[in-house]
């Protein structure tokens, strides 16, 4: 079995693939202060809960946008599984062509979601990831990743607003019944949900126009994708597992193997 680990700024997502099937997945909050032993407790409990034995894990791949956590998880894998994990980077794009000016600066999260989206939905496409940052990832008619846009994440923007104001409350992000809110909570919900919906619709329209890809599918992923999707019909699909599936794509396409002695790298 292949263990995939997606280390983000807000959450760590993990999944286990048997052959080509994602048989289990879970997430927990990222913390730069937790030790590898603490993360191991989270991991082993979820493995047991999903009927996966430690000995079932034969390979590990990690995609990370938090360099400070790379050693923590590498140490976890080597000490607890006896496996040196593979780290996803731009050299493991699984056949995805790129026109990004400096591929070395392309985040592992964007590589992973784009890889999986191209495999599952074809090109051209626009993948929008609503995470700590909101990223627009564009693949042209020739199947080439050409770039996109990066904006603040919904929850990130909300947290910054609350920290910077004295009287605005912490709220649950959900789509209100209308754009005009009648109380403070409704005003904030309207601003953040409809505001991001409007931004999304405008950006998608401009991307399609600039690249002449009116037929491009629009795929949403990330923790708050459903909230945005509840107020627009712009998405062709919501796929919350894109990053995990992308890590599998990168690993399997390169026929990679992890560092455990005698491991043949079968997934």
**What digits encode the pLDDT tens for the residues 64-101?**
999 999 999 999 999 889 999 999 988 776 667 888 88
Is residue 61 within 8 A of residue 251, CB to CB? The reply is yes
The residue-averaged pLDDT of 203-222 equals 97
Instruction: Report pLDDT for 260.
Output: 53
Catalytic (active site) residue 37: no
> Superfamily assignment of 2-90 in CATH?
ATPase, nucleotide binding domain (3.30.420.40)
Q: Of the residues 59, 109, 129, 239, which is catalytic?
A: 109
Give CATH 3.30.420.40 domain extents, the chain: 2-90, 94-245
Burial class (CB in 10 A: 0-12, 13-18, 19+), 266: exposed
In the sheet with 11-18, reading across from the earlier edge strand, the strands are 21-29, 11-18, 2-7, 59-64, 86-87
Please compute the mean of the pLDDT values over residues 233-245 and round it to a whole number: 96
Bridge-based pairing of strands 59-64 and 86-87 is parallel
> Which architecture characterizes domain 94-245 according to CATH?
2-Layer Sandwich (3.30)
| Residue 133: φ, ψ to 5° | -115, 160
pLDDT for res 140: 96
User: What pTM was computed for the model?
Assistant: 0.90
Contact between 74 and 17 (Cβ < 8 Å): no
pLDDT of 265: 36
Q: How confident is the model at residue 253 (pLDDT cuts 50, 70, 90)?
A: confident
pLDDT at 101: 86
Query: For all residues of the chain together, what is the average pLDDT?
Result: 91
DSSP state of 106: S
Partners of residue 173 on adjacent β-strands: none
């Amino acid at each position: 079995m292949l263990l995939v680990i997606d280390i983000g700024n807000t959450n760590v997502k993990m999944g286990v693939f048997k052959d080509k099937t994602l048989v289990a997945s879970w997430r927990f909050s990222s913390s730069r202060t937790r030790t590898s032993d603490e993360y191991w407790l989270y991991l082993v409990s979820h493995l047991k809960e999903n009927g996966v034995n430690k000995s079932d894990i034969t390979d590990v791949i990690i995609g990370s946008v938090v360099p400070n956590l790379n050693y923590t998880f590498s140490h976890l894998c080597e000490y607890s599984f006896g496996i040196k994990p593979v780290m996803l980077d731009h050299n493991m794009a699984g056949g995805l062509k790129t026109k990004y000016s400096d591929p070395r600066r392309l985040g592992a999260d964007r590589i992973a979601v784009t890889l999986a989206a191209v495999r599952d939905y074809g090109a051209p496409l626009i993948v929008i990831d609503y995470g700590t940052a909101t990223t627009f990832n564009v693949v042209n008619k020739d199947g080439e990743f050409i770039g996109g846009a990066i904006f603040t994440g919904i929850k990130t923007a909300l947290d910054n607003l609350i920290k910077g104001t004295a009287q605005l409350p912490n709220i649950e992000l959900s789509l209100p019944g209308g754009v005009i809110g009648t109380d403070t909570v409704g005003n904030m919900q309207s601003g953040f949900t409809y505001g991001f919906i409007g931004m999304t619709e405008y950006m998608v329209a401009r991307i399609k126009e600039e690249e002449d890809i009116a037929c491009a599918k629009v795929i949403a992923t990330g923790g708050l994708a459903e909230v945005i999707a509840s107020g627009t019909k712009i998405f062709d699909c919501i796929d919350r597992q894109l990053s995990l599936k992308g890590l599998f794509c990168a690993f399997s396409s390169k026929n990679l193997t992890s560092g455990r002695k005698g491991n043949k790298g079968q997934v």
